[in-house]
Structure 1
């Protein structure tokens, strides 16, 4: 029987850190490119409604799928710990558990699509034409939900296995195929919004199959097909606990971002548009820093499984140092080129001027938000998800308090300050729990409840 290499014993070097992080950063960079192509091809139809339909349809599905991001994060932490502990059978079983959870969640979305669509369009009303096209778009795309959500688990497994180059290849395949089919179906065959949806369905279905091929090393251990191992009650309960905590944490953070948009709308259309443009800077920051946060997940998880407190601490520090370097580069880039980026994103002079007023907040986000991103990675790797959930409650509570105390005094500056403060509070709260995380390294397997 072929065994997996013991990754926890691999030297912890800067080269290893970068070999994990850089492919993730590059993979993330393909996501906005695909979004731009989706918008561009329907924009060639010469009508506003198809653009709005694809936009609102994408937002609705992305928001729903984002709630299942726990499958990526939880799988990474659990697989990394199993690898560190040389539990090769559990590494294989975890992949099958993640895929099965993804498929069941996707099937549930297909079954529940009617109430989901009803609720979504009540929250984000659109014109009758846009809503009709958006419904058509979603009703096609929803059938690839089992595959799209399963890809979260496959990606998490590959990241935990330090196969981030495979993750990059998978993203290039999916997004590249999607772009090619977009152009063919919409511009070549004239299928419009339905063509964009079908292109995504095909890319996600084939992406899941390709991801399973890339993760085929899991099949080298017989436990991947052992129902007794895959459905082990103790393991399932632990995985459910981890995933539930992460899902609640995601909902809390999503509440902050959604409410930010709602509060911004109260300042008028110009400020709302400026805030939307500036949020793209935060998205860029998240994509860049995620590479180093994911690296922390892998190293910390493996160190915990190997019961190595020293490697855990060193891995967290090394990943954070590289993340800090990326944050400084981002902050400097935003300071030097931010105004030019704003001008390329809109030609409305009023919006340009308004966005520049708040650009200093974008310069501060990579620096002040770094610790929150990195500690998220550290705690995911350690699967101390209860702490993440609880500290997200604290962050949300402080954010709400800041919003209602700062906006009346400082207006939109107060809104941006509230968002940045929420990052800092989350970092401080997780930092307070970090010593207990290190102590946990000597007590692996992870207990079912944390004090």
Structure 2
């Protein structure tokens, strides 16, 4: 399957290009959310959505293993030519996602009370955040099942189907954002409702694609194997490592946003816009990381690890180019580009001051994202967990506390830069032993 270098390279960039297009639609839709909200008369709607997003990042991305774990495990099953395992992994993770989504809806009130009690912001910001939360939370089951569907298709290197789902979900989201926010005037509540509804449409289409490949009779045949303890144990151990890794990552982003909020609504809004740009570049780079993840898993599963070095080299160079180029574009023309996202002069001024921090954040971050994809494909969850915990505890938290103490947003951005650098260093030190396996 991966027996010729030229074919291998072409396959990587074919997968990566489709993944990049698919991934870019997510942050572009997010940027349009920011644009719609950022041009409202009151800026607290944008700040409120940013605040509520912290809570949803915890709720959803704590369960990011539903996507990441599915991709690596399915890719290795493809490499082994174990078609039964491919379907079984999708079904197991899909049922888990459904149960978790229903649990989130049942516990939505306690989660809201606890979450907004911890987060600090002005009363009007919290009010807008709660309206966004109350609408978006109903999309939880669809969102989590979509994680599994995307991971399942990515593991099989079927990026075209992931692209189709992304097109449907994000175009629907943007259309409904315009309808609910601009036309109906529903503000932050409209943004949450638009996202929830688009997730359900994406789920319907995704399940239809899954069903096309697996008839109901075929699915029924897996009932006895669904609770196979050995397979479940392997999945739970790997997914447990990913949960811890993701929780540490989201905690870092949450602390960053919450400390931005403590520095004032204007700083929170400015940092939110810049983090949207980081997210835009990250989704671009993740397109390469997903291709790396798929091919690394297939290579590992087939027992053919000869191309891992070549795969990693291509992935790292491509990711770094994208990261540095993205940062340079926004640094070179901050007012023109950032002015598209908000027309508030005071926010644009702060953006111009802080935008140079994109260079170190995206420079180190691009390498870290590529390495994440590589180790996810190899299902090396313990390495990912260890690296993220070290980066958070040593690279980020000490300087973030210092930034809060001195009320200095530049120190806060420096802490984010060191966090990305620490992720890169801690992951890179584990690379040599993966080549000797």
Structure 1 pair 357/205, CA: closer, same or farther in 2 (3 Å)? closer
1:29 equivalent in alignment to 2:24? yes
1:368 Cα deviation after fit: 2.3
C-alpha distance in 1, partners of 2:109/2:333?
45
Please list, as runs of the form range in 1=range in 2, the aligned pairs for 1:232-381 lying within 5 A after superposition. 232-265=228-261, 267=263, 271-347=267-343, 349=345, 351-381=347-377
1:177 Cα deviation after fit: 2.6
1:337 Cα deviation after fit: 2.5
C-alpha distance in 1, partners of 2:371/2:118?
33
1:83 equivalent in alignment to 2:81? no
Q: Which segments of 5 or more consecutive residues in structure 1 lack a partner in the other structure?
A: 1-6, 441-451
1:156 equivalent in alignment to 2:156? no
Hey, what does 1:447 align to over in structure 2? none
Structure 1 pair 372/192, CA: closer, same or farther in 2 (3 Å)? closer
1:250 Cα deviation after fit: 1.1
C-alpha distance in 2, partners of 1:336/1:353?
15
Hey, what does 2:166 align to over in structure 1? 171
Structure 1 pair 177/43, CA: closer, same or farther in 2 (3 Å)? same
SS in 2 for 1:289: helix
Structure 1 pair 81/8, CA: closer, same or farther in 2 (3 Å)? farther
Structure 1 pair 76/126, CA: closer, same or farther in 2 (3 Å)? same
Structure 1 pair 205/432, CA: closer, same or farther in 2 (3 Å)? same
C-alpha distance in 2, partners of 1:293/1:199?
28
Choose 1 or 2 for highest CA Rg. 1
Match of 1:205 among 196, 200, 208: 200
Hey, what does 1:67 align to over in structure 2? 62
SS in 2 for 1:227: coil
Q: Residue by residue, what CA displacement relative to the aligned partner does 1:207-229 show, whole Å, maximum 9, x if unpaired?
A: 11211222346517946741222
C-alpha distance in 2, partners of 1:191/1:267?
28
SS in 2 for 1:358: helix
Q: Which segments of 5 or more consecutive residues in structure 2 lack a partner in the other structure?
A: none
C-alpha distance in 2, partners of 1:182/1:268?
27
1:147 equivalent in alignment to 2:145? no
SS in 1 for 2:306: helix
Q: Residue by residue, what CA displacement relative to the aligned partner does 1:60-112 show, whole Å, maximum 9, x if unpaired?
A: 33442122112111111101111111111101111111211110110111121
Q: Could you state the TM-score of these two structures normalised by the residue count of structure 1?
A: 0.84
1:305 Cα deviation after fit: 0.3
Of residues 100-109 and 346-355 in structure 1, the stretch that sits farther from structure 2 once superposed is 346-355
In 1, are the aligned partners of 2:327 and 2:362 still within 8 Å (CA)? yes
1:215 equivalent in alignment to 2:210? yes
C-alpha distance in 2, partners of 1:206/1:65?
18
C-alpha distance in 1, partners of 2:162/2:65?
17
In 2, are the aligned partners of 1:296 and 1:315 still within 8 Å (CA)? yes
SS in 2 for 1:13: helix
C-alpha distance in 2, partners of 1:188/1:168?
29
1:136 Cα deviation after fit: 5.7
Hey, what does 1:231 align to over in structure 2? 227
C-alpha distance in 2, partners of 1:349/1:131?
23
Match of 1:391 among 387, 392, 412: 387
Structure 1 pair 16/51, CA: closer, same or farther in 2 (3 Å)? same
Match of 2:89 among 79, 86, 94: 94
Question: Relative contact order, CA 8 A, sep 6+: which one is greater?
Answer: 2
In 2, are the aligned partners of 1:218 and 1:224 still within 8 Å (CA)? no
C-alpha distance in 2, partners of 1:128/1:267?
15
Q: Could you state the TM-score of these two structures normalised by the residue count of structure 2?
A: 0.86
Q: Residue by residue, what CA displacement relative to the aligned partner does 1:171-190 show, whole Å, maximum 9, x if unpaired?
A: 11122233444555667777
- Give the paired residue count: 434
Q: Residue by residue, what CA displacement relative to the aligned partner does 1:396-434 show, whole Å, maximum 9, x if unpaired?
A: 121223445688899543332222122122111111112
Hey, what does 1:105 align to over in structure 2? 100
SS in 1 for 2:430: helix
1:113 Cα deviation after fit: 1.2
SS in 1 for 2:379: coil
Of residues 294-303 and 428-437 in structure 1, the stretch that sits farther from structure 2 once superposed is 428-437
Structure 1 pair 224/79, CA: closer, same or farther in 2 (3 Å)? farther
Hey, what does 1:3 align to over in structure 2? none
Match of 1:426 among 400, 423, 426: 423
C-alpha distance in 1, partners of 2:64/2:93?
12
RMSD value, Cα = 3.4
In 2, are the aligned partners of 1:23 and 1:164 still within 8 Å (CA)? yes
C-alpha distance in 2, partners of 1:228/1:349?
62
